Amino acid sequence: MPDTIIAVNDFSYIYPNTQNRVLENITFTVSKGDFIGILGCNKAGKSTLCQSLVGVLPYLLGGSWEGDVIVDGVNLDETKGAKATDVIGIVFQDAESQFTQETVEDEIAFAMCNFGYARELMTERIKIASTACGLRDMLDRSPFRLSGGQQQRLAVACVLALQPQVVILDESTSQLDPIGRDEVFTLVSELNQNGTTIIMVDHNIEKIAQYVNKVMVLHEGKLVAYDDTSVVFQMREELNRLPIRIPEVTEASLRLKDDLGLVFDNAPLNLDDAEKLFRSAKKEGGLS
């Protein structure tokens, strides 16, 4: 049985000076080693949920709430969110706006300086984080002279230097070109394979389908789906009504299933699996 690192129980949240619930009765768990993709349209509550998991909401920015957020066995209500950042690091959308230092090395060191880390430990952590994020040869470079993908990798490195068990990325690829986007997805996939739990908000359906093992769908503050990736992306009609599309290859496979009467339990999520499925169907006489 996988160890639970985050448990959210019947959690609701209302921003200050408003009356409507932005999150409503949210309940789910995250296991150590999960790679979770969060999907939803604008105002679905995705960023609000991410900030609630690290205690920014409600303990720093206020508001009213009900329910519990438990991180590594600690209820954030008991610590006023103070222990969340020991376990979870978060990377926001606009990396460049978060940088304050003159070099990549200093930027990675900045948070550790604020927490009073010893110099020897900081040096070791900078080496580990910069290597993991492919920035080892860029430590003397200005953060503002990096490409978009490199800046997002630096933002991840700054979080990794604190060695959290969980990394949350809140639409961190939305402003990147395809190369930068691929850099970030490759990086977080490698981190996940090495044991880091990843929670990633992103609108790129194909990339989510390729990398994550679970998908969470939010709509108007409610959790409408949370299951294995292959299960959620079979919910074509339910997702389209939100509207959230499913991967193109999955959509094409389900249409062929409807039109030709193909028999399979789960439509493929990528081209390789689709090729295997259709080759098998052709061999059995289901395709001409």
What is the tens place of the pLDDT at every residue in 143-156?
A: 999 999 999 999 99
Residue 161 has pLDDT above 60, yes or no: yes
Residue with tokens 């599309």: 245
Burial class of residue 127, CB neighbours in 10 A (0-12, 13-18, 19+): middle
- Token pair for 206: 């194909």
Q: What is the tens place of the pLDDT at every residue in 103-142? A: 999 999 999 999 899 999 999 999 999 999 999 999 999 9
* Domain boundaries of the chain, sorted by first residue: 4-246, 247-288
The mean predicted confidence, pLDDT, of the chain is 92
- Token pair for 167: 């990394």
Residue 195 has pLDDT above 70, yes or no: yes
Q: In the CATH scheme, what architecture does the domain 4-246 have?
A: 3-Layer(aba) Sandwich (3.40)
Residue type, 64: S
Share of the chain above pLDDT 90, in %: 80
Lowest mean per-residue pLDDT among 63-67, 166-170, 228-232, 274-278: 274-278
Q: pTM here?
A: 0.92
